[in-house]
Amino acid sequence: MGNFFTGFFNKERFGHPQVIAGGLLLIFLAQCLWLTKKAGPPQEVDVNELFRVQEGLLQLRGDTIAGTPSMTRLEAGISPPLEVEDNEGFDSNHSPLWYLVAAAPFSLSTSHEKTAGFVIREWGWFARIPYLIFGLLLGASLWYVSRRLYGNQGGYIALTLYCFSPGMLQESALWHVQPEMGAAWGTFGAVFTAIAVAHTLYAPREVVLWNWRRIFLLGLSLALAIGSQFSLIVLAPIALAFMLYLAPARRQAALAIWASACGFAFVLFFASYRFQLSIFWRAMRHAQFSGFTWRTLTMSEAYRSVLNHLQETAPALLIALPAALATYVLWRKTRYFGNTAPLLVAVVFLFLGFCSPHYPGLGFQLMAVPFLFVFVAGVAADLLETPERKFVLTCVWGLLLVVGLLNILQLARIPTPLP
């Protein structure tokens, strides 16, 4: 046992970079907890949020399948949102997995009562635990990927941008927003796991069997993302495209691994419907996999909406992103795959979000933000290797310090709700 702990807590696995990253994540968690403390009383729970948890609890109890029509829902007096009611009782954007994640903490209560009153009374921490966990996991994944790509300083920059992003804090603390952190973590994991798998395909081993852990992780990421938002099915072709591009000499192996991961994701996805084929088929017929419309390209309001959403989610990007894009265009050294991949994914998601003006679009815009953090961190790390390192370091950390302080001041100004 002693050898195990010595091997795990060595300098490579757990050194100063990990301590600093852990400290930043603790600051992120503290801000989320502060937001949770400032949340309104349980009586102010939105009816749509109440529906989400009640549906999940009904499925965990074995009474019905969440997000699908049932007599049990009617007998329990649960009123679905208008978009669900108008869609013959089916949720067009989410699978039962989305509901099960929301309801899981409530199911741990020893109380046998699982009515609306119980959900409202226990709303506080029970409602937020899954998304706080997803927020921390996304932050840790962001730091790990950025550090592997750009070194310690790139990891610190990306994680600091994330930890003081108002949008990420709101999503993790479930502050008057739709719960999308599960989809965000799944999306980030799916893209970079696919890239990691492709880089291992040149190893002289039986790659399909050897990569079973990454197949599992890729399948889990796809299931979590698509199960939380049907329109994220675009992740499957994106993952395949990266794998085929990075391993042109091993495309059959890449295709086999991708198919295995998609098969595993489908099993998890189908399991959320309790393997009931008829219900699953009806749900897919009522699902909305795309809200895409070209008309938004001619609407000036759509452009302002995207810009406002980006400003509200991560104000630092309004300064850092134009600077990083200008550097990327003007300096050839920054135009390599490690920088181009996250930028390309972010552009795809922003475009899909722009052309999907309703709910799926807002989800796409959120998914793009972590990839923009990675891109900005990569360009900044490249600039820190130039003779102007001191000037760049002053600008980068000055921006991060200002953003962090402003974010904390904004949190401090949130009024305490009346009991």
Does the pLDDT value for residue 3 go beyond 60? no
Domain presence at residue 352? no
Domain presence at residue 33? no
Distance, CA of 387 to CA of 385 (rounded, Å): 7
List of residues 6+ apart from 15 with CB closer than 8 A: none
Domain presence at residue 272? yes
Helix ranges (DSSP H) in 272-314: 277-285, 300-313
Compute the C-alpha angle 41/174/410, nearest 5°: 85
Please tell me whether residues 114 and 200 are part of one structural domain: no
Q: Is 175 left (phi over 0), alpha (psi -120 to 50) or beta?
A: beta
Domain presence at residue 376? no
Please tell me whether residues 212 and 282 are part of one structural domain: yes
CA quadruple 169, 170, 174, 180: dihedral sign: negative
Distance, CA of 362 to CA of 171 (rounded, Å): 12
Average pLDDT, the chain: 86
Domain presence at residue 93? yes
Does the pLDDT value for residue 210 go beyond 70? no
List of residues 6+ apart from 210 with CB closer than 8 A: 200, 203
Q: Which residue has the higher pLDDT, 363 or 272?
A: 272
Please tell me whether residues 271 and 193 are part of one structural domain: yes
Determine if the pTM surpasses 0.95.
no
What confidence category does residue 25 fall into, taking pLDDT thresholds of 50, 70 and 90?
very high
Contact 244, 251 (CB under 8 A): yes
Domain presence at residue 278? yes
Which one of 229, 263, 289 terminates a domain?
289
Which one of 70, 90, 121 terminates a domain?
121
pLDDT tens digits, 263-299: 999 999 999 999 999 999 999 998 888 776 767 777 7
Compute the C-alpha angle 107/112/116, nearest 5°: 70
Supply the pLDDT for residue 213: 84
Domain presence at residue 79? yes
- Which helix (H) or strand (E) element contains residue 210? helix 207-210
Which one of 270, 289, 308 terminates a domain?
289
Domain count, the chain: 2
Distance, CA of 138 to CA of 191 (rounded, Å): 13
CA quadruple 337, 340, 342, 344: dihedral sign: negative
Give the pLDDT mean for 58-74. Answer: 83
pLDDT tens digits, 132-148: 999 999 999 999 999 99
Domain presence at residue 213? yes
Please tell me whether residues 199 and 271 are part of one structural domain: yes
Please tell me whether residues 115 and 191 are part of one structural domain: no
Please tell me whether residues 285 and 199 are part of one structural domain: yes
Please tell me whether residues 201 and 281 are part of one structural domain: yes
State the residue range of the domain holding 207.
Answer: 180-289
